[in-house]
Amino acid sequence: MKVTIKDIARMCGVSVTTVSRVLNNKTESIGKDTVVRIRKKIEELGYRPNSVARSMITGRSHTVGLVVPDVRNPFFSELARGVEDFMNKREYGVFLCNTDSSLDKERQYIDLLKGKFTDGIIFTTQNKNELGQYFGNFIMHDFPVVLIERYIDGMDAVPGIYVDNRGGAEKLCDFIIGKGHRGIACIAGPFLTTNARLRLEGYKDSLRKHGIAVEDRLIIESNYRYSGGYRAMKELLEQQKGRFTAVFACNDLMAYGAYKALEEEGLSVPQEMSLAGFDNIKFPEVLRPRITSVDLPAYEMGGKAAEMLCAIMKKQKLSELRYEYDLEVIDKGSVAEPL
C-alpha cells in the first residue's frame, strides 16, 4: 500500500503541516529532533511526495526548462549535464528541449514552458534577432530566465553566462600564426549568431595584428555542424587550394567535418594542413586526430547558469547579471609548422 503524508505524520506523532514543512525545507519553527525523526521515517518508508499535489500546494513545479539548439552537439550535452547535476541536488527536474535551431520550435517551447509548467528557464538560441521581441514580452512577465552564450538584442537586464569568444578566437589564431602560418582559412558559424560573429572578429583581429591581410574568399559561413564543416572544407579546397596552410573552424564539430574532407583529399593533419577548432568538446580519447581547440567549460557553464536561476527563483539579488569566462587554447598537436 502506498505511503501517504498522513501516514508519515501519524507515525511521527506530528501534524501533516509539520511533515509538509520538512518536505519543503521550511524547518525554522520545528525542533531539530523532530526534523531528524521525520526525515528518518521518510527515508525508511521510501516516501516520495506527489509532484502534482506538491505544486498545487506550493505554487511551484520544481521543474526548470533547458532550451538548446542541438543536443547532438557534445557541447550542449555537457552543458545540459551541468544544469541537471546542479538542479537534481536541489530536487529540481530538468525538462530538456531541443529546437534544431528552429525559430518556430523555440517559440513553441517557450509557450510550453512558461506559466505553471516550469519555475524558470535556461535558454540558448540561434535566432536572436527574430526571437528578441517575442522573448522580450515573455521576460516582461517577471519569469525567471538565464541566457547562455547567446546575447539577445534589448535583453541587457536578463542574467546570462558568456565566454570571451572574440578573445578566445584571437588567442587561437595567434597560436596558429606563431607556428609560422600566413594563409589561414576560416570556417565560420552562422553570422546571425553573436558568438559566430565574435569568433570571426577574433580571427580578423589576430590576422591584422600580425600584418596579414583578411581575405573574404578564405572565409566560409557554415552551420556549426559536422556536415557544414565538411562542405565548407570541400569548397575551400576546390576554390582556394594553395592559398592557405591552416584552417580555423569556429567549432569542433565543423573542425571534424573539415578533417573528413581533408582526409578524402589525401591531405594529412597536421603534416600537410593544420587544423584547429573551438569548444574543446569531449570526444572519446580513441578518436584521432585530437584537434587543437579553445576550451569552453560547458559543464561548469551549465552549473553556473543553474545556480543563477535558483537565486532568481528565490528572489535573491545577483551580484552580477553577466558572468563571463576567459578562454584558453588547448594544444592537441593538430597545428604544426607549414611545409
Domain assignment present for 338: no
Tell me: pLDDT of 56 over 80.
Answer: no
Residue 201 and residue 308 share a domain: no
Asked if residue 335 is part of any domain, the answer here is no
pLDDT tens digits for range 123-140: 887 655 555 555 665 555
Domain identity same for 145 and 214: no
Report whether pLDDT(55) > 60.
Answer: no
The reply to whether 11 falls in a domain is yes
Predicted confidence at residue 332, as pLDDT, reads 94
pLDDT at 168 (0 to 100): 97
pLDDT surpasses 70 at 67:
yes
Structural domain boundaries, residue 90: 60-163+298-328
Same domain, residue pair 201 and 145: no
Residue 227 in this model has a pLDDT that exceeds 90: yes
Q: What's the pLDDT band for 23 if we cut at 50, 70, 90?
A: confident
Both 225 and 310 in one domain: the answer is no
Same domain for 158 and 185, yes or no, is: no
Angle at 278 between CA 310 and CA 209, to 5 degrees: 115
Do 275 and 128 fall into the same domain?
no
Q: Are residues 288 and 272 in the same domain?
A: yes
- Least confident segment among 19-28, 93-102, 213-222, 254-263: 19-28
- Is 85 found in the same domain as 43? no
Q: What is the pLDDT of residues 293-302, one digit of tens each?
A: 999 999 999 9
Residue 141 and residue 258 in one domain: no
Closest CA to 126 of 170, 85, 168, 73: 73
Task: Evaluate if residue 245 carries a pLDDT over 90.
Answer: yes
Number of domains in the chain: 3
CA atoms in the 13 A half-sphere facing the CB of 64:
28
Structure confidence at residue 262 (pLDDT): 97
Instruction: Look at 61-70, 76-85, 109-118 and tell me which has the smallest mean pLDDT.
Output: 109-118
Sheet of 219-221: strand order equals: 219-221, 184-188, 246-249, 274-276
Candidate ranges 23-37, 109-123, 269-283; pick with highest mean pLDDT: 269-283
Q: Which residue has the higher pLDDT, 112 or 255?
A: 255
Residues 171 and 286 in one domain: yes
CA distance 10 to 198: 61
**Which CATH number goes with the domain that contains 114?**
3.40.50.2300
What confidence score (pLDDT) does residue 253 get?
94
Residue 337 in any domain: the answer is: no
- What pLDDT does 258 receive? 97
pTM recorded for the entire structure? 0.79
User: How much is the pLDDT for 295?
Assistant: 96
pLDDT at 91 over 90: no
Rounded-to-integer distance, Cα 108 and Cα 61, Å = 19
Per residue in 312-324, pLDDT (tens digit) is 998 888 888 889 9
> What residues contact 101, with CB distance under 8 A and at least 6 apart?
69, 70, 126, 127, 223
pLDDT of the residue at 88: 92
